[in-house]
Chains A and B, each alone.
Chain A
């Protein structure tokens, strides 16, 4: 190994410390994702891994290459810019709306349009059941009329009766057929959708 012969101790010490810290934080965050019970608890572990662990190792890399090459090497910031922002998973999985039992969640979730898969956790918690059925098997709250046109047309096709389908977003059958659980969700709410 030929890398650290010229590295002075005042640079090697923080680099080693940051590497050890980053590795430990990464494994702790992943352990949290592996062991915690519900999805909303599980999502906090990778957040730590992505922000703090990656940050430590990126700073270690910047420090090491800056000292080893005697120039400022900060292109690791590109990785930080692409991975550090907390919009990463949490914006899509609903962590930024806080814990699912918060009252503000229902307001901020903006009634079924933001993240369809978020509503499992929300509705389960709101009903006071608080089990860990996950977010797949649950009953969805009613959705917006623009999306309900799709569901009602499916209901009309399956029940072979003509219902008044309001013109809205066009139904894409391939998208609905993409997953069976997706289709089941649509069909579960089809009666409510066609009643409206």
Chain B
């Protein structure tokens, strides 16, 4: 078993896990009883997307995916804060 097979198997397993996590997030996003559950699921979905981009970067050995992951992480953080602010105050910019 070479290191290439080991790494590719590990990456495939982790990719499958994260895709399953994204499916669960989407289900919670759809069935969430309250708006807070949906925000939570959306935030986790952002994080899983970021993890997916990172692992694709490892899989293809490319640094380009890192910038995409960074942008996804920042946008997810800001959008989660904005949604939480909206739920808390009823408006985003006071």
Contacts and interface: CB of A to CB of B under 8 A. Distances in A.
Contact of A8 (B3, B58, B66, B69): B3
A159 interface: no
Interface string A54-82: 10011011001100100000011011001
A46 to B, nearest CB: 4
A172 B91 contact: yes
A30 B44 contact: yes
Contact of B50 (A79, A132, A176): A79
B21 A27 contact: yes
Contacts of A93: 36, 39-40, 84
Interface residues of B, number: 60
Interface residues of A, number: 64
A31 B39 CA distance: 16
A160 interface: no
16 contacts: A2-B61, A7-B7, A8-B3, A19-B58, A20-B14, A26-B17, A30-B48, A39-B34, A42-B40, A54-B50, A57-B55, A61-B58, A65-B63, A136-B34, A172-B91, A175-B90
Interface of B: 3-4, 6-11, 13-18, 20-22, 24-25, 27-28, 33-37, 39-41, 43-44, 47-48, 50-51, 54-55, 57-61, 63, 66, 69-70, 73-74, 76-77, 80-81, 84-91
